Structure 1
Amino acid sequence: MKQSEIKELSVAELQEKLKESKKSYAELKFANSISPLENPIQLRFARRTVARIATELTKRELQ
């Protein structure tokens, strides 16, 4: 998910996306620990998406 897409979402939508993204990242980590993923870069993208959403939420809270 790109930063421009994240900025367009409301706070409630961001919180929902954050929950979904964290769940997805946890599932990927679990799957990778059992047997290596075909594309381990998925882990990096998932982790960074979680960080982008969390950063945007924090930024909006501080405003």
Structure 2
Amino acid sequence: MKIAEVRELSDKELLERLDAERIALTQMKLNHSVSPLDSSADIKKKRRDIARFLTELRQRGIKK
């Protein structure tokens, strides 16, 4: 997800997506430990998306 797309989300949507991404990341890590994923780069993408969400939430908190 691009940062421009993240900025368009409302605070509520951002928090919901953050929770969903964290759950998905945990599930991917568990699946990867049992049997290797086809692309372990997907884990890296999830971590970066989570960081983007947290960064945007932090920036919005500072502006208020």
TM-score exceeds 0.5: yes
* TM class by smaller structure: over 0.9
Q: Does 1:11 align with 2:11?
A: yes
The code of the aligned residue for 1:44 comes to: K
* Equivalent position SS for 1:24: helix
Q: Which runs of 4+ in 1 moved over 4 A?
A: none
Task: Count residues with an aligned counterpart.
Answer: 63
Identical-residue share of aligned pairs (%): 37
Alignment of 1:1-63 (within 5 A): 1-63=1-63
What's the TM-score once normalised by structure 1's chain length?
0.96
d(CA) in 1 for partners of 2:4 and 2:53? 11
**Which consecutive residues of structure 1, in runs of 5 or more, have no partner in the other structure?**
none
Question: Is there any run of 5+ residues in structure 2 with no aligned partner, and where?
Answer: none
1:3-60 Cα distance to aligned partner (Å, 9 max, x none): 0100000111100000001011111111111111011110000010001001100110
